[in-house]
Amino acid sequence: MEKIVLLGVSGSIGLQSIDVIKKFKNKFDLIGVSLSSNIDVLDRILLEFPNLKQVGIATEAKAEAFKLKHSDIQVFSGVNCSLDVIKNSDCDGVINALVGFAGLLPSLVSLQLKKRLMLANKESLVIGGRLIEKALKDNKGIIYPIDSEHSALAKCVRSLKREEIDSLLITASGGSLRDLPLKEVENASLEKVLHHPSWKMGKRITVDSATMINKAFEVIEASYIFNYPLEKIKVVINDESLFHAGAITKDGSLVLEAGVNDMRIPISYALNNFKREDIGIPFSLDSLLNLHFRKFDHNRYPLFSLALEAFKKGDGSICFFNAVDETLISYFVNKTISFKTYLSLMKELMSLSQFENCTSYAELLEIDKKAREISKAKVQALLQEV
């Protein structure tokens, strides 16, 4: 029985991970979780997993309220609650479904403690890829990606020899604004941006999908996970999101992985140690009858290129980019700024970035903090002008 800790249990990936773990209760036991503030989800989870004895709740007041009801549970609170759950449990594996920069340190600690890391948190690799690489090497670790594209890539790559592969292919849906006339994109409403054509996801990743920042991050992740340079990772749009990724081979062939738009598939593949298991999701051949592919349009998605440019400048630069993106999206989804303002500020603030290379988590943390302060100050200044 493998003992699992699930970080970010109340989010989209977290709740779907619960569904998958329940299907394999004979193999996995959930013993610890963390979340931000939505403690309402915990009552049902505690009933389903009686050995769940460590809970991390980032919001202090919510943690105190939970403690009053559950004296038999070890409760951790504050920004480091996920780390506390990992360190104080005797887990074998960690599912990191945290969102944003906050997921990086838990990934590093999981690897340093020789836990099996099932990774949904993109920023761990996008921002801290070099640190993660060192932790993997030092502790002989492996990353089990929880992402439709990287899970599909793993399946394709594992079916081929390295010397047979020329390049990798990642598909994109095109996001919620793919069919909007280009001149209307910057004026898109919040509701339009959050209406994804294929996937049901959290707000930040849905916005990042509309701009293709998310896809740029996935290209960076793939570069780290599979050890291919950025120029060897191609992107094409598949409207239906049926085909997730593939490998272009040296004999002029293309090996593709298709599957239902359901995150439980990559979650199960990671949880089950790169093994395909029956999780009750049928594949309909009818889905193959009406497929549409498009060339990736860099003019429609300028932030895709901006993200890759930031990454090429160094860890500090992409860390700054991510923090600006996280901060501005929080203002956008709260209707404090428009989509047009979000897009223009991303470009303006990145032009101010002086951060390039850095070598430690502490340096990344400082850059993240400064980027958020700069972003907040800029938004506040704009609001005062109105």
Annotated binding site for NADPH: 11-13, 38, 121, 123, 202
Rounded distance, CA 245 to CA 290, Å?
18
Annotated binding-site residue numbers for Mn(2+): 147, 149, 218
Residue 351, amino acid: S
How many Cα atoms within 13 Å fall on the side-chain side of residue 58? 16
Rounded distance, CA 335 to CA 193, Å?
12
User: Could you say which DSSP state residue 18 is in?
Assistant: H
Rounded distance, CA 56 to CA 60, Å?
10
Annotated binding-site residue numbers: 11-13, 38, 121-123, 147-149, 173, 196, 202, 209, 214-215, 218
Residue 312, amino acid: K
Which two three-digit tokens encode residue 181? 């006339």
Which residues, other chains included, contact 87 with Cβ-Cβ below 8 Å and sequence gap of 6+?
A: 109, 113
Least Cα distance to 15 among 38, 324, 28 occurs for 38
Q: Are 382 and 341 in contact (CB under 8 A)?
A: yes
Rounded distance, CA 298 to CA 107, Å?
32
Annotated binding-site residue numbers for 1-deoxy-D-xylulose 5-phosphate: 122, 148-149, 173, 196, 209, 214-215, 218
